[in-house]
Chains A and B, each alone.
Chain A
């Protein structure tokens, strides 16, 4: 199985682990991720303003490239996923926006045809948890792991359609498949305040601590996330339990972690 793959800029720099392990694990699980050529940064945040067109063009080009390759698109970073998926939704449902975008696209007209999977959806819907279980060589038995969804993966649900936005299970199910014990806590789908980290760091710290406290009270030993910004923000806010990328966790269980640790 082959998919177009969009890592995004953070995964090429500060969050290399998220990217490297995503590819390694995909290979173990029988999926080839083919990186899109010459991609540009998605912009990090989806501007909901209807009249912002230029800021969304890079995402449209990513989607168009996947379509040209005749492949579905896979993303890993929560923020990239949110931006690309919301852009695709706007291309499908906002005719005025789509026509404005297509004025920039020359012969590459695009109308939302590409299907997008987040890495988690790829595992759940394409690979299947059973296949993951088969491939686990280091079961993470006994580990109490708290899934941190944050806001970007689940909302707005009318666009993201990943899981129940209020009571998601997609990461918990993966944690179970890896042999560990998921810790369910109330603030796993609340915002860590990542986007205001630069603008008002005290607010970001406050919000992160609410999440960390909630997870720790529920007995978490590790927090797992798919978002480099969440990881950074939780860590900077003084989180005293490890925060790891979900692909790192997956790599550990699939036994491919050491291979890439230089």
Chain B
């Protein structure tokens, strides 16, 4: 029997103005990153409700990453600062619940940083894959 290769499931929330454009630029430049990364477009990283992150983990995501504009560059002036604070709290709580720090990340990627986007995703996917499947929130997972 062939053992199915373990593929992590990664949800990436990208702000429309910088990071989503950065992801597009990575595409334009044909910079590869794992297909395990699935991007959800949000207007600003500050649109990401901690609930969304929890939901992703409950539904079986192995890693969640938020990408926004660099500090000071937010299209909406200050959204990314809120993201940073909110996620710092959320991630420390998740850490307490046993979801390793490496499974969550906030990263600033500008519209010009296609290479950084791809590098970030490669690195994140590698780290998440190294941790293996996320089982810690299994009990909390919604039963389908």
A–B contact (CB under 8 angstroms)? no
